[in-house]
Structure 1
Amino acid sequence: MIHLNGELVEEKSAKLSILNRGFQYGDALFESIRVINNQIMFWETHYFRLMSSMRILRMEIPDFFSPEKLAELIHDVVEANNYLSQAVKVKINVYRDGKGLYLPDSKHVGYIISASPISSPFFIKSNSYCEVELFKDHYLNSGLLSTLKTNNKLTQILASIFAKENGYDNCLMLNENKSVVEATNGNLFLLKNNKLKTPPLSDGCLNGIIRKQLVEIVGELDEYEIEEASISPFELQKADELFYTNAIQGIVSINKYRKKEFNTEFSTQLIGKLNARARLSD
């Protein structure tokens, strides 16, 4: 079951017009959220990112898009699918409704809320080996639009295909200034000695939910320093650790980039701190 514009409907029965602007022009955005035992993880941060993204895209925010009402709709979907005691990924898709060409004839929006089960209620250390490579065929643009979770993700799609075709587990993305911005599906962090770096939003990285949590977590640690600064490709092989983050997987350690093998100690420690912070957000 999914929520489609206010109605709970069977996924196979849900219908969108082929003229839908999300399909025709990518005039849409999405939010991916962990829900554990019907508790929405980091809901306030997700909600304000969604509202901010809609404002930036000049979408008209419906009056009922309050945090309480959207949370209620999420809970409805979780319950309708019998996921109340499970770990699930909830996805909110928001698209600009109406017709028009590049100029829409309306700022009104439609929305879809769906849910699918995930394997663990906690963020856990992945047992999968992760080798990455730089993706240099196309670049992300630095600036505000790249920080949003819009439907325009062709560069990440092509990078994912490149990784699959060449035997890598993920790719690291570059912007037009040749700075390393992020992984295909998450924010990048680089540890060297006691300094943890992550690219600034101005470089075009996603304004990630877990990125925000880790910046705050590491900022409270006396023995480590957090810095939001551009990362050069030359820094990658000099790093002690590399990892990336997203709202569903949490923290994913990178084991190898070219000839360099990385430690995973610090990223593993951070998983425990992130789980503790997630519990406090309930």
Structure 2
Amino acid sequence: MTSTPRPDAAIAIAATGAVGRDRSVGGQVSRRCFEAGSLALLLTCAMATVDWCADMAAMGELPMPGGWSLSMMWTPMCGRAWADLAASFIGMWTVMMMAMMLPALLPAWWRYRQAGCAAGARCPGWLAVQWGVGYFLVWAALGAAVFVAGAALAASALRLPMLARAAPLAGAVVVLGAGALQCSAWKARRLARCRARPGPIGRGSMVSLAAWRSGLRLGLHCAGSCAGLMAGLLVAGVMDLGAMILLTAAVGAERLAPPDLRAERVVGAIAIAAGLMMLAAAIGAD
């Protein structure tokens, strides 16, 4: 006895086929436009991130007990309000995340647009934009949480020298934990969800809602999968260009390399090695 596929399953099957066999002139033009727009967005975000890094470096850092330095981005300066500082940080963080996540995200983004074409969406390009906005809204929300935590820790370190002295040791422990998390089954499950195909396209008035929900869902999965990597970035310094480049490469390797290569475990082993060196340095400094 055969069963009729559900509409959502049929749409997903059609989208998969569309990605593989779309060789029409219109399909090629759409692909070129998507690639050009994506490249322009990536370059814009990357240049803005580099510019912000330069601005943060010009602000200087405050030497702290324990041999490390506190970035002035965590404290309001020259009478600047906390709300302005928070808004600036969240905007900077979101653009930075776009620059780092786009290289690994673009294949999934293109598949979602193709799924919209296969489902007969009136404007699949606009649908893909909504999907992308939903995805990066998750990272913007994470940026708000990071700012609150970072500002609270900075204020505590300024008031409590003992806490400041413990920061290098705590950073080493965080990096070690991040490396261990990379090698865990928890990480493997979330990475598999990041690699999964985007959710189905809705119908009628539900098309836009489905796009937002699909983008938000993937954003949550990816944020969970990148939890350890993000912790390592925060220890290295939010506006450290070298750390950003390494994280971008790590995320791309995890998402785009064949699953059998276990790229996330290779990244985890590197993080553990770095954490051990940081731990030795922190202990030696004491």
TM-score (normalised: structure 1): 0.26
Q: Which has the higher contact order (CA 8 A, sep 6+)?
A: 2
Q: Say which structure is richer in helix.
A: 2
Q: Say which structure is richer in strand.
A: 1
| The structure with more radius of gyration | 2
